[in-house]
Chains A and B, each alone.
Chain A
Protein backbone atom coordinates (compact mmCIF):
# COMPACT_ATOMS: atom_id res chain seq x y z
CA UNK A 1 0.00 0.00 0.00
CA UNK A 2 1.23 3.49 -0.84
CA UNK A 3 2.42 5.27 2.30
CA UNK A 4 2.60 2.12 4.41
CA UNK A 5 6.17 2.91 5.41
CA UNK A 6 5.07 6.14 7.07
CA UNK A 7 2.83 4.26 9.47
CA UNK A 8 5.49 1.63 10.09
CA UNK A 9 7.88 4.43 11.03
CA UNK A 10 5.35 6.01 13.36
CA UNK A 11 4.77 2.62 14.95
CA UNK A 12 8.46 2.07 15.57
CA UNK A 13 8.97 5.47 17.18
CA UNK A 14 5.86 5.02 19.32
CA UNK A 15 7.17 1.68 20.58
CA UNK A 16 10.46 3.36 21.44
CA UNK A 17 8.60 6.17 23.17
CA UNK A 18 6.65 3.94 25.53
CA UNK A 19 9.42 1.37 25.88
CA UNK A 20 12.21 1.49 28.45
CA UNK A 21 15.06 3.97 28.19
CA UNK A 22 18.63 2.85 27.78
CA UNK A 23 20.08 5.92 29.48
CA UNK A 24 22.38 5.34 32.45
CA UNK A 25 22.10 8.03 35.12
CA UNK A 26 25.82 7.93 35.70
CA UNK A 27 26.66 10.22 38.62
CA UNK A 28 23.44 9.28 40.44
CA UNK A 29 23.53 5.56 39.70
CA UNK A 30 26.82 3.77 39.15
CA UNK A 31 26.71 1.42 36.16
CA UNK A 32 27.34 -2.31 36.55
CA UNK A 33 30.44 -3.02 34.47
CA UNK A 34 31.19 -6.27 32.66
CA UNK A 35 33.57 -8.48 34.67
CA UNK A 36 36.26 -8.28 31.98
CA UNK A 37 36.71 -4.53 32.44
CA UNK A 38 40.27 -3.56 33.42
CA UNK A 39 40.28 0.04 34.55
CA UNK A 40 42.39 0.24 37.69
CA UNK A 41 45.01 -1.64 39.67
CA UNK A 42 44.90 -2.94 43.25
CA UNK A 43 47.64 -4.37 45.48
CA UNK A 44 47.29 -6.61 48.53
CA UNK A 45 50.44 -5.83 50.46
CA UNK A 46 50.49 -8.92 52.71
CA UNK A 47 50.39 -11.28 49.72
CA UNK A 48 53.27 -9.59 47.90
CA UNK A 49 56.59 -11.43 48.06
CA UNK A 50 58.54 -8.65 46.33
CA UNK A 51 59.65 -10.92 43.50
CA UNK A 52 59.68 -8.05 40.97
CA UNK A 53 58.00 -10.23 38.32
CA UNK A 54 55.33 -7.61 37.71
CA UNK A 55 57.90 -4.91 37.02
CA UNK A 56 59.68 -7.19 34.57
CA UNK A 57 56.46 -8.18 32.82
CA UNK A 58 55.34 -4.60 32.32
CA UNK A 59 55.92 -3.48 28.69
CA UNK A 60 56.04 0.20 29.65
CA UNK A 61 58.06 0.12 32.86
CA UNK A 62 55.18 1.44 34.89
CA UNK A 63 55.95 -0.44 38.10
CA UNK A 64 58.83 0.52 40.45
CA UNK A 65 59.12 -1.41 43.71
CA UNK A 66 61.70 -1.64 46.46
CA UNK A 67 62.02 -4.20 49.20
CA UNK A 68 64.25 -5.02 52.16
CA UNK A 69 65.09 -8.18 54.04
CA UNK A 70 63.43 -8.65 57.37
CA UNK A 71 66.18 -9.75 59.76
CA UNK A 72 63.93 -11.87 61.99
CA UNK A 73 61.90 -13.91 59.51
CA UNK A 74 64.57 -13.84 56.81
CA UNK A 75 61.93 -12.85 54.28
CA UNK A 76 61.83 -9.98 51.85
CA UNK A 77 59.33 -7.32 52.79
CA UNK A 78 57.84 -4.77 50.41
CA UNK A 79 59.09 -1.27 51.13
CA UNK A 80 57.55 0.84 48.41
CA UNK A 81 55.41 0.15 45.34
CA UNK A 82 54.83 2.89 42.79
CA UNK A 83 52.88 2.80 39.53
CA UNK A 84 52.90 5.55 36.92
CA UNK A 85 49.32 5.19 35.73
CA UNK A 86 49.85 7.79 33.02
CA UNK A 87 51.91 5.22 31.12
CA UNK A 88 49.86 2.15 32.08
CA UNK A 89 48.11 0.26 29.27
CA UNK A 90 45.89 -1.78 31.60
CA UNK A 91 47.06 -4.82 29.62
CA UNK A 92 47.07 -6.94 32.77
CA UNK A 93 50.41 -8.67 32.00
CA UNK A 94 51.63 -7.74 35.49
CA UNK A 95 48.72 -9.49 37.16
CA UNK A 96 49.30 -12.57 35.00
CA UNK A 97 52.94 -12.58 36.02
CA UNK A 98 52.19 -12.22 39.72
CA UNK A 99 52.73 -15.65 41.36
CA UNK A 100 50.68 -14.88 44.48
CA UNK A 101 47.88 -12.85 42.90
CA UNK A 102 48.82 -9.92 45.08
CA UNK A 103 48.41 -7.51 42.17
CA UNK A 104 44.97 -7.50 40.52
CA UNK A 105 43.06 -5.43 38.00
CA UNK A 106 40.09 -3.73 39.61
CA UNK A 107 37.02 -2.00 38.22
CA UNK A 108 37.23 1.47 39.69
CA UNK A 109 36.95 3.90 36.80
CA UNK A 110 36.81 7.36 38.34
CA UNK A 111 40.54 7.88 38.00
CA UNK A 112 40.61 11.35 36.46
CA UNK A 113 43.00 13.81 38.14
CA UNK A 114 43.90 17.45 37.61
CA UNK A 115 47.72 17.21 37.85
CA UNK A 116 49.95 14.87 35.85
CA UNK A 117 51.85 14.05 39.05
CA UNK A 118 48.68 12.70 40.64
CA UNK A 119 48.82 9.80 38.21
CA UNK A 120 51.89 8.42 39.97
CA UNK A 121 50.18 6.08 42.38
CA UNK A 122 51.66 4.91 45.66
CA UNK A 123 50.01 1.50 45.69
CA UNK A 124 50.71 0.78 49.38
CA UNK A 125 49.11 4.03 50.48
CA UNK A 126 46.13 3.36 48.22
CA UNK A 127 45.72 -0.15 49.58
CA UNK A 128 45.76 1.18 53.15
CA UNK A 129 43.28 3.91 52.31
CA UNK A 130 41.00 1.38 50.66
CA UNK A 131 41.29 -0.92 53.68
CA UNK A 132 40.22 1.94 55.94
CA UNK A 133 37.29 2.92 53.74
CA UNK A 134 35.94 -0.49 53.78
Chain B
Protein backbone atom coordinates (compact mmCIF):
# COMPACT_ATOMS: atom_id res chain seq x y z
CA UNK B 1 0.00 0.00 0.00
CA UNK B 2 2.68 2.46 1.04
CA UNK B 3 4.75 1.43 -1.98
CA UNK B 4 1.82 2.08 -4.31
CA UNK B 5 1.23 5.43 -2.64
CA UNK B 6 4.85 6.42 -3.23
CA UNK B 7 5.12 4.67 -6.60
CA UNK B 8 6.13 7.77 -8.52
CA UNK B 9 8.53 8.95 -5.80
CA UNK B 10 10.24 5.54 -5.96
CA UNK B 11 10.52 5.81 -9.73
CA UNK B 12 11.94 9.33 -9.37
CA UNK B 13 14.49 8.15 -6.80
CA UNK B 14 15.47 5.28 -9.10
CA UNK B 15 16.09 7.68 -12.01
CA UNK B 16 18.12 9.96 -9.74
CA UNK B 17 20.15 6.99 -8.49
CA UNK B 18 21.33 6.34 -12.05
CA UNK B 19 23.45 9.47 -11.75
CA UNK B 20 26.79 9.49 -9.91
CA UNK B 21 25.56 12.36 -7.74
CA UNK B 22 21.74 12.09 -7.31
CA UNK B 23 21.43 15.84 -6.72
CA UNK B 24 23.79 17.16 -9.37
CA UNK B 25 22.70 19.76 -11.93
CA UNK B 26 22.26 17.09 -14.58
CA UNK B 27 20.08 14.90 -12.36
CA UNK B 28 17.88 17.89 -11.55
CA UNK B 29 17.69 18.85 -15.21
CA UNK B 30 16.67 15.30 -16.18
CA UNK B 31 13.98 15.25 -13.53
CA UNK B 32 12.69 18.65 -14.72
CA UNK B 33 12.50 17.42 -18.30
CA UNK B 34 10.66 14.28 -17.18
CA UNK B 35 8.25 16.36 -15.09
CA UNK B 36 7.63 18.61 -18.08
CA UNK B 37 6.86 15.64 -20.30
CA UNK B 38 4.50 14.22 -17.68
CA UNK B 39 2.58 17.51 -17.48
CA UNK B 40 2.26 17.62 -21.28
CA UNK B 41 1.05 14.02 -21.28
CA UNK B 42 -1.49 14.88 -18.58
CA UNK B 43 -2.88 17.72 -20.72
CA UNK B 44 -3.03 15.67 -23.94
CA UNK B 45 -4.58 12.68 -22.19
CA UNK B 46 -7.03 14.95 -20.37
CA UNK B 47 -8.09 16.52 -23.65
CA UNK B 48 -8.44 13.14 -25.37
CA UNK B 49 -10.56 11.71 -22.58
CA UNK B 50 -12.51 14.84 -21.66
CA UNK B 51 -13.60 15.69 -25.20
CA UNK B 52 -15.12 12.25 -25.53
CA UNK B 53 -16.58 12.36 -22.04
CA UNK B 54 -18.11 15.73 -22.86
CA UNK B 55 -19.78 14.31 -25.97
CA UNK B 56 -20.92 11.24 -24.05
CA UNK B 57 -22.46 13.37 -21.29
CA UNK B 58 -24.05 15.64 -23.88
CA UNK B 59 -25.56 12.52 -25.38
CA UNK B 60 -26.70 11.02 -22.10
CA UNK B 61 -28.41 14.26 -20.98
CA UNK B 62 -30.39 14.30 -24.22
CA UNK B 63 -31.12 10.55 -24.00
CA UNK B 64 -28.68 9.64 -26.76
CA UNK B 65 -25.59 7.46 -26.50
CA UNK B 66 -22.99 9.87 -27.88
CA UNK B 67 -20.19 8.63 -30.17
CA UNK B 68 -20.46 4.84 -30.46
CA UNK B 69 -18.77 3.90 -33.71
CA UNK B 70 -15.01 3.80 -33.25
CA UNK B 71 -13.46 1.45 -30.73
CA UNK B 72 -15.19 -0.01 -27.68
CA UNK B 73 -18.39 2.05 -27.24
CA UNK B 74 -16.82 4.87 -29.28
CA UNK B 75 -13.94 5.63 -26.92
CA UNK B 76 -11.41 6.04 -29.78
CA UNK B 77 -13.43 8.75 -31.51
CA UNK B 78 -11.26 11.64 -30.30
CA UNK B 79 -8.11 10.00 -31.66
CA UNK B 80 -9.68 9.84 -35.10
CA UNK B 81 -10.78 13.47 -34.78
CA UNK B 82 -7.26 14.53 -33.78
CA UNK B 83 -5.80 12.70 -36.79
CA UNK B 84 -8.33 14.43 -39.03
CA UNK B 85 -7.33 17.82 -37.60
CA UNK B 86 -3.68 17.13 -38.41
CA UNK B 87 -4.58 16.61 -42.06
CA UNK B 88 -6.41 19.93 -42.38
CA UNK B 89 -5.04 22.90 -44.28
CA UNK B 90 -3.54 25.66 -42.16
CA UNK B 91 -5.32 28.82 -43.36
CA UNK B 92 -4.32 32.34 -42.35
CA UNK B 93 -7.06 34.79 -43.32
CA UNK B 94 -6.26 37.75 -45.58
CA UNK B 95 -5.48 40.91 -43.64
CA UNK B 96 -4.77 39.00 -40.45
CA UNK B 97 -2.14 40.16 -38.01
CA UNK B 98 0.06 37.18 -38.81
CA UNK B 99 2.27 37.11 -35.74
CA UNK B 100 -0.53 37.54 -33.21
CA UNK B 101 -2.72 35.10 -35.14
CA UNK B 102 -0.05 32.42 -35.03
CA UNK B 103 1.20 32.75 -31.47
CA UNK B 104 -2.23 33.06 -29.79
CA UNK B 105 -3.05 29.31 -29.87
CA UNK B 106 0.44 28.47 -28.64
CA UNK B 107 -0.01 30.75 -25.64
CA UNK B 108 -3.43 29.26 -24.90
CA UNK B 109 -1.90 25.80 -24.96
CA UNK B 110 1.19 26.69 -22.93
CA UNK B 111 -0.72 28.22 -20.00
CA UNK B 112 -2.26 25.02 -18.60
CA UNK B 113 1.20 23.46 -18.88
CA UNK B 114 2.57 26.19 -16.64
CA UNK B 115 -0.31 26.09 -14.18
CA UNK B 116 -0.51 22.30 -13.87
CA UNK B 117 3.19 22.25 -12.99
CA UNK B 118 2.60 23.53 -9.44
CA UNK B 119 -0.27 21.19 -8.53
CA UNK B 120 0.66 18.46 -6.01
CA UNK B 121 -0.56 15.24 -7.62
CA UNK B 122 0.28 13.22 -4.53
CA UNK B 123 2.38 13.34 -1.39
CA UNK B 124 5.46 15.39 -2.42
CA UNK B 125 4.49 14.91 -6.04
CA UNK B 126 4.28 18.51 -7.23
CA UNK B 127 6.45 18.83 -10.37
CA UNK B 128 7.54 22.23 -9.03
CA UNK B 129 7.10 22.94 -5.34
CA UNK B 130 6.53 26.71 -5.34
CA UNK B 131 6.05 28.66 -2.11
CA UNK B 132 3.83 31.10 -4.00
CA UNK B 133 1.84 28.31 -5.67
CA UNK B 134 -1.66 29.83 -5.64
CA UNK B 135 -0.31 33.26 -6.49
CA UNK B 136 1.66 31.87 -9.44
CA UNK B 137 -1.30 29.78 -10.61
CA UNK B 138 -3.67 32.77 -10.70
CA UNK B 139 -1.10 35.10 -12.24
CA UNK B 140 -0.32 32.68 -15.07
CA UNK B 141 -3.91 31.68 -15.77
CA UNK B 142 -4.83 35.36 -16.07
CA UNK B 143 -2.62 35.61 -19.17
CA UNK B 144 -5.09 33.51 -21.16
CA UNK B 145 -7.28 36.63 -21.36
CA UNK B 146 -4.56 38.21 -23.44
CA UNK B 147 -4.27 35.18 -25.71
CA UNK B 148 -7.99 35.26 -26.48
CA UNK B 149 -7.81 38.96 -27.27
CA UNK B 150 -4.77 38.33 -29.50
CA UNK B 151 -6.65 35.62 -31.38
CA UNK B 152 -9.72 37.83 -31.74
CA UNK B 153 -7.75 40.85 -32.89
CA UNK B 154 -5.39 38.94 -35.15
CA UNK B 155 -8.14 37.16 -37.07
CA UNK B 156 -9.36 40.34 -38.83
CA UNK B 157 -12.96 39.27 -38.33
CA UNK B 158 -15.65 41.24 -36.54
CA UNK B 159 -17.07 38.21 -34.72
CA UNK B 160 -13.63 37.17 -33.55
CA UNK B 161 -12.93 40.68 -32.29
CA UNK B 162 -16.27 40.75 -30.47
CA UNK B 163 -15.43 37.40 -28.91
CA UNK B 164 -12.01 38.65 -27.86
CA UNK B 165 -13.55 41.76 -26.27
CA UNK B 166 -16.05 39.61 -24.43
CA UNK B 167 -13.21 37.38 -23.22
CA UNK B 168 -11.45 40.39 -21.68
CA UNK B 169 -14.60 41.74 -20.04
CA UNK B 170 -15.68 38.39 -18.68
CA UNK B 171 -12.37 36.93 -17.57
CA UNK B 172 -11.12 40.06 -15.85
CA UNK B 173 -14.45 40.45 -14.00
CA UNK B 174 -14.52 36.88 -12.78
CA UNK B 175 -10.83 36.87 -11.86
CA UNK B 176 -11.63 39.02 -8.81
CA UNK B 177 -14.21 36.80 -7.05
CA UNK B 178 -12.05 33.80 -8.00
CA UNK B 179 -9.05 35.35 -6.27
CA UNK B 180 -11.01 36.46 -3.22
CA UNK B 181 -12.61 33.05 -2.80
CA UNK B 182 -9.16 31.48 -2.44
CA UNK B 183 -8.06 34.13 0.03
CA UNK B 184 -10.07 32.59 2.88
CA UNK B 185 -8.12 29.35 2.60
CA UNK B 186 -4.83 31.26 2.46
CA UNK B 187 -5.85 33.12 5.64
CA UNK B 188 -6.48 29.83 7.43
CA UNK B 189 -3.29 28.07 6.30
CA UNK B 190 -1.12 31.21 6.30
CA UNK B 191 0.58 29.86 3.19
CA UNK B 192 0.43 30.18 -0.60
CA UNK B 193 2.14 26.82 -1.01
CA UNK B 194 -0.29 24.27 -2.44
CA UNK B 195 1.59 21.41 -0.79
CA UNK B 196 1.19 23.02 2.64
CA UNK B 197 -2.49 23.72 1.97
CA UNK B 198 -3.06 20.04 1.21
CA UNK B 199 -1.08 19.00 4.32
CA UNK B 200 -3.30 21.24 6.45
CA UNK B 201 -6.40 19.40 5.25
CA UNK B 202 -5.47 16.07 6.80
CA UNK B 203 -8.25 16.42 9.41
CA UNK B 204 -10.96 18.16 7.42
CA UNK B 205 -11.10 19.41 3.81
CA UNK B 206 -11.54 23.15 3.51
CA UNK B 207 -14.87 22.77 1.72
CA UNK B 208 -16.33 22.17 5.20
CA UNK B 209 -14.81 25.40 6.56
CA UNK B 210 -15.28 27.47 3.41
CA UNK B 211 -18.46 26.24 1.67
CA UNK B 212 -19.34 29.71 0.36
CA UNK B 213 -15.85 30.17 -1.04
CA UNK B 214 -16.09 26.81 -2.79
CA UNK B 215 -19.37 27.75 -4.48
CA UNK B 216 -17.94 31.12 -5.56
CA UNK B 217 -14.79 29.42 -6.82
CA UNK B 218 -16.72 26.89 -8.91
CA UNK B 219 -18.95 29.57 -10.49
CA UNK B 220 -16.06 31.93 -11.18
CA UNK B 221 -13.91 29.01 -12.34
CA UNK B 222 -16.48 27.92 -14.92
CA UNK B 223 -16.64 31.52 -16.12
CA UNK B 224 -12.86 31.72 -16.17
CA UNK B 225 -12.51 28.74 -18.54
CA UNK B 226 -15.33 30.04 -20.76
CA UNK B 227 -17.64 27.09 -20.42
CA UNK B 228 -21.42 27.18 -20.60
CA UNK B 229 -23.41 28.82 -19.06
CA UNK B 230 -20.64 31.44 -19.26
CA UNK B 231 -19.50 30.67 -22.82
CA UNK B 232 -20.24 34.13 -24.18
CA UNK B 233 -16.72 34.30 -25.56
CA UNK B 234 -17.27 31.48 -28.03
CA UNK B 235 -21.08 31.66 -28.21
CA UNK B 236 -21.67 29.86 -31.50
CA UNK B 237 -25.09 31.36 -32.11
CA UNK B 238 -24.01 34.95 -31.53
CA UNK B 239 -20.36 35.36 -32.48
CA UNK B 240 -19.68 32.12 -34.39
CA UNK B 241 -17.15 30.57 -31.98
CA UNK B 242 -15.65 34.00 -31.27
CA UNK B 243 -11.84 34.05 -31.36
CA UNK B 244 -11.68 30.56 -32.91
CA UNK B 245 -13.73 31.41 -36.00
CA UNK B 246 -10.82 31.79 -38.40
CA UNK B 247 -8.65 28.99 -37.05
CA UNK B 248 -8.24 25.70 -38.86
CA UNK B 249 -6.49 22.40 -38.38
CA UNK B 250 -3.88 22.05 -35.70
CA UNK B 251 -4.07 25.66 -34.53
CA UNK B 252 -7.73 25.19 -33.76
CA UNK B 253 -6.81 21.88 -32.14
CA UNK B 254 -4.35 23.72 -29.89
CA UNK B 255 -7.17 26.00 -28.71
CA UNK B 256 -9.20 22.92 -27.93
CA UNK B 257 -6.33 21.30 -26.05
CA UNK B 258 -5.77 24.53 -24.15
CA UNK B 259 -9.44 24.83 -23.27
CA UNK B 260 -9.62 21.34 -21.80
CA UNK B 261 -6.19 21.78 -20.18
CA UNK B 262 -7.44 24.96 -18.50
CA UNK B 263 -10.53 23.13 -17.33
CA UNK B 264 -8.34 20.42 -15.83
CA UNK B 265 -6.16 23.05 -14.17
CA UNK B 266 -9.10 24.89 -12.60
CA UNK B 267 -10.58 21.60 -11.38
CA UNK B 268 -7.19 20.49 -10.05
CA UNK B 269 -6.85 23.72 -8.08
CA UNK B 270 -10.36 23.28 -6.67
CA UNK B 271 -9.55 19.70 -5.66
CA UNK B 272 -6.29 20.83 -4.09
CA UNK B 273 -7.56 23.83 -2.18
CA UNK B 274 -11.07 22.77 -1.18
CA UNK B 275 -11.39 19.00 -1.43
CA UNK B 276 -8.17 17.98 0.28
CA UNK B 277 -6.03 17.18 -2.74
CA UNK B 278 -4.39 13.79 -2.42
CA UNK B 279 -5.61 13.27 1.16
CA UNK B 280 -7.92 10.31 1.56
CA UNK B 281 -8.17 6.91 3.22
CA UNK B 282 -7.26 3.47 1.79
CA UNK B 283 -6.44 4.39 -1.82
CA UNK B 284 -3.10 5.87 -2.94
CA UNK B 285 -2.99 9.67 -2.87
CA UNK B 286 -2.69 10.19 -6.61
CA UNK B 287 -5.82 8.11 -7.24
CA UNK B 288 -7.72 10.20 -4.69
CA UNK B 289 -6.51 13.36 -6.38
CA UNK B 290 -7.66 12.35 -9.84
CA UNK B 291 -10.98 11.08 -8.48
CA UNK B 292 -11.65 14.48 -6.92
CA UNK B 293 -10.63 16.27 -10.11
CA UNK B 294 -12.90 13.93 -12.07
CA UNK B 295 -15.88 14.73 -9.86
CA UNK B 296 -15.43 18.46 -10.38
CA UNK B 297 -14.97 18.05 -14.12
CA UNK B 298 -18.09 15.91 -14.27
CA UNK B 299 -19.97 18.61 -12.39
CA UNK B 300 -18.77 21.25 -14.86
CA UNK B 301 -19.94 19.15 -17.80
CA UNK B 302 -23.24 18.43 -16.07
CA UNK B 303 -23.77 22.16 -15.58
CA UNK B 304 -22.83 22.86 -19.19
CA UNK B 305 -25.47 20.55 -20.59
CA UNK B 306 -28.14 21.76 -18.17
CA UNK B 307 -28.17 25.55 -18.24
CA UNK B 308 -28.68 27.95 -21.13
CA UNK B 309 -26.18 30.73 -21.75
CA UNK B 310 -26.37 33.72 -19.39
CA UNK B 311 -27.15 37.16 -20.84
CA UNK B 312 -24.25 39.62 -21.23
CA UNK B 313 -25.56 42.20 -18.75
CA UNK B 314 -26.53 39.46 -16.28
CA UNK B 315 -22.98 38.13 -16.58
CA UNK B 316 -21.49 41.39 -15.34
CA UNK B 317 -24.27 41.78 -12.80
CA UNK B 318 -23.50 38.34 -11.33
CA UNK B 319 -19.78 39.00 -11.06
CA UNK B 320 -19.81 42.52 -9.59
CA UNK B 321 -23.05 42.64 -7.62
CA UNK B 322 -23.35 39.08 -6.32
CA UNK B 323 -20.09 37.13 -6.33
CA UNK B 324 -17.77 39.98 -5.36
CA UNK B 325 -19.74 41.11 -2.25
CA UNK B 326 -20.22 37.48 -1.25
CA UNK B 327 -16.52 36.75 -1.52
CA UNK B 328 -15.65 39.86 0.50
CA UNK B 329 -18.21 38.75 3.10
CA UNK B 330 -16.51 35.36 3.13
CA UNK B 331 -13.13 36.94 3.79
CA UNK B 332 -14.65 38.98 6.63
CA UNK B 333 -16.30 35.91 8.16
CA UNK B 334 -13.09 33.91 7.84
CA UNK B 335 -11.17 36.66 9.62
CA UNK B 336 -13.80 36.79 12.34
CA UNK B 337 -13.65 33.01 12.68
CA UNK B 338 -9.88 32.98 12.99
CA UNK B 339 -10.04 35.78 15.60
CA UNK B 340 -12.65 33.91 17.67
CA UNK B 341 -10.70 30.65 17.34
CA UNK B 342 -7.59 32.35 18.68
CA UNK B 343 -9.53 33.93 21.54
CA UNK B 344 -11.01 30.54 22.48
CA UNK B 345 -7.79 28.58 22.08
CA UNK B 346 -5.81 31.35 23.74
CA UNK B 347 -3.31 31.50 20.82
18 CB < 8 A contacts A-B: A6-B307, A9-B307, A10-B302, A10-B306, A13-B302, A13-B306, A16-B62, A16-B63, A18-B60, A19-B63, A20-B63, A21-B59, A21-B64, A21-B65, A22-B64, A23-B63, A23-B64, A23-B65
Confirm or deny: A32 has a beta carbon within 8 angstroms of a beta carbon on chain B: no
Pick the most buried of B63, B65, B68: most chain A CB atoms within 10 A of its CB.
Answer: B63
Would you call A16 and B60 a contact (CB within 8 A)?
yes
A17 to B305, CA, bound (A): 10
Distance from B45 Cβ to chain A, minimum over Cβ atoms (Å)? 24
Instruction: Give the contacts of B103-140 with A (CB-CB under 8 A).
Output: none
Q: Tell whether B57 is near chain A: CB-to-CB under 8 Å.
A: yes
A29 to chain B, nearest CB (A): 12
Listed in ascending order, the chain A residues whose CB lies under 8 Å from chain B are: 6, 9-10, 12-14, 16-23, 25
Known: A21-B65, A23-B65. A9 touches B60 (CB 8 A): no
Q: Would you call B30 an interface residue if the criterion is a C-beta within 8 Å of the partner chain's C-beta atoms?
A: no
Which residues of chain B come closer than 8 Å to A6, judged between CB atoms?
Answer: 307
Residues of A near B60 (CB, < 8 A) are 16-18, 21
Distance to closest chain B CB from A31 (angstroms)? 15
Contact with A along B37-77 (1 / 0, CB 8 A): 00000000000000000000101111111001000000000
Besides A10-B303, A13-B61, 6 other A-B contacts (C-beta < 8 A): A9-B306, A10-B302, A16-B61, A19-B63, A21-B60, A21-B63
A19 to B302, alpha carbons, bound, how many Å?
A: 15
Query: For residue A12, which residues in chain B have a CB less than 8 angstroms away from its CB?
Result: 306
Q: Within the assembled complex, what's the spacing in Å between the Cα atoms of A16 and B65?
A: 11
In whole Å, how far is A3's beta carbon from the nearest beta carbon of chain B? 10
The interface residues of chain A lying within 8 Å CB-to-CB of B306 are 9-10, 12-13
Known: A10-B302, A23-B64. A17 touches B307 (CB 8 A): no
Provide the bound-state CA to CA distance between A25 and B59, in Å: 14
- CB-CB under 8 A from B57, the residues of chain A are 17
Q: What is the CB-to-nearest-CB distance from A62 to chain B, in angstroms, rounded to a whole number?
A: 38
Cα A6 to Cα B65 in complex, Å, equals 25
* B residues near A14, Cβ cutoff 8 Å: 302
| B272-310 vs A, Cβ < 8 Å mask (1 yes, 0 no) | 000000000000000000000000000000110111000
Bound: A7/B63 CA distance, A: 19
Q: Using Cβ atoms and an 8 Å threshold, which residues of chain A touch B305?
A: 13
B73 to chain A, nearest CB (A): 12
Q: Which residues of A contact B307 (CB under 8 A)?
A: 6, 9
Q: How far is the CA of A16 from the CA of B302 in the complex (A)?
A: 11
A5 (CB) vs chain B CBs: closest residue: B307
> Which A residues are CB-close (under 8 A) to B62?
16
Closest to A17 in B: B60
Shortest distance from the beta carbon of A80 to any chain B beta carbon, whole Å: 44
- Residues in chain B near residue A16, CB distance under 8 A: 60-63
Distance in angstroms from B31 CB to nearest chain A CB is 42
For A21, the chain B residues whose CB sits under 8 A away are 59-60, 63-65
Whole-angstrom distance from the CB of B1 to the nearest CB of chain A?
Answer: 33
CA distance A29 to B319 in the complex (A): 50
Give min CB distance, B69 to chain A, whole Å.
10
How many Å lie between the Cα of A18 and that of B302 in the bound state?
Answer: 12
- In B252-280, the 8 Å CB interface with A consists of none
A39 to chain B, nearest CB (A): 25
Complex Cα gap A10–B302 (Å): 7
Lowest 9 CB-CB distances: which A-B pairs, in order? A17-B60, A13-B306, A13-B61, A22-B63, A9-B306, A23-B64, A23-B65, A16-B61, A21-B65
Task: Give the residues in chain B near A19, CB-CB below 8 Å.
Answer: 63
Distance between Cα atoms of A9 and B61 in the complex (Å): 11
- Which residues of the partner chain A approach B63 to less than 8 Å between Cβ atoms? 16, 19-23
Nearest Cβ on chain B to A23's Cβ, whole angstroms: 5
